[in-house]
Amino acid sequence: DAGVIQSPRHEVTEMGQEVTLRCKPISGHDYLFWYRQTMMRGLELLIYFNNNVPIDDSGMPEDRFSAKMPNASFSTLKIQPSEPRDSAVYFCASSFPGLPNEQFFGPGTRLTVL
Amino acid sequence: GESVGLHLPTLSVQEGDNSIINCAYSNSASDYFIWYKQESGKGPQFIIDIRSNMDKRQGQRVTVLLNKTVKHLSLQIAATQPGDSAVYFCAELLISNFGNEKLTFGTGTRLTIIP
């Protein structure tokens, strides 16, 4: 099992550009989570999906952030336009049905917005 | 508001000794409490969890204790090894009546094992 796959691993962009982060969850997992980690705010839940349906997006910072899950094996987190304060490590995680507490995290995408 | 927090930001332990990492929580309605380990450059990794109706759970070299009276959670690691060096997060899972399941992470404690 390859685990949760995220791409790219590193992204450097300029303020105002669009950024798209990608995630492939573990096969058979029906929960998918997007987190953001910074030194100042720690690990924050942005949004999560259950069976491809967004359940809670209350953690999404603002309208510049959007997430989609078109099918069970793929999700994207998009930031448009990006700002320097969006610089962080973004993690995707997935979990088995009925076990949202045991989440399997991907390696993360380190985003730097200049 | 409700929050999860840690008492100690850093902890250094001699290899082979036992370590205890503490966490305070404020939401008594949480259904599960969980410990995650994050090594440098990696995503968090699930270690162990405990249901809110339990006070102790043991795993391999790890024990989690839950004291609901004082809203305190701890992770004990026995016979620490260099590979235990990482940041440890406590987290709480709240399952709402509407089926909304939200995991909230604490700020983390950095554990360093001294060879």
User: Could you read off the pLDDT of B54-67 as tens digits, one per residue?
Assistant: 999 999 999 999 99
Give, as one character, the DSSP assignment of residue A86: G
A1 pLDDT band, cuts 50/70/90, is: low
Mutate to test the interface with A, among B46, B66, B73, B93 (most CBs of A within 10 A): B46
Q: Which residues of A, range 73-112, sit inside 8 Å of B by Cβ?
A: 91, 93, 100-108
Closest CA to B94 of B102, B86, B105: B102
**Is residue A90 packed enough to be buried (19+ CB in 10 Å), middle (13-18) or exposed (0-12)?**
buried
Position A100 pLDDT exceeds 80: no
| CB within 8 Å of B64: residues ≥ 6 apart | B33, B35, B48, B49, B50, B56, B57, B58, B73, B74, B75, B76
User: Could you read off the pLDDT of B81-115 as tens digits, one per residue?
Assistant: 999 999 999 999 888 777 677 888 988 999 999 99
For residues A80 and A21, give the distance between their C-alpha atoms in angstroms, rounded to a whole number.
12
User: Could you read off the pLDDT of A49-94 as tens digits, one per residue?
Assistant: 999 999 989 999 889 999 999 999 999 999 999 999 999 999 999 9
Query: Pick from B44, B45, B101: which is nearest to A100 by CB?
Result: B101
Query: Pick from B34, B103, B107: which is nearest to A45 by CB?
Result: B103
Taking a C-beta distance cutoff of 8 angstroms, is the pair A5, A105 a contact? no
The pLDDT score that the predictor gives to residue B3 is 46
Single-letter amino acid code for the residue at B66? L
User: Could you read off the pLDDT of B18-77 as tens digits, one per residue?
Assistant: 999 999 988 888 889 999 999 999 999 999 999 999 999 999 999 999 999 999 999 999
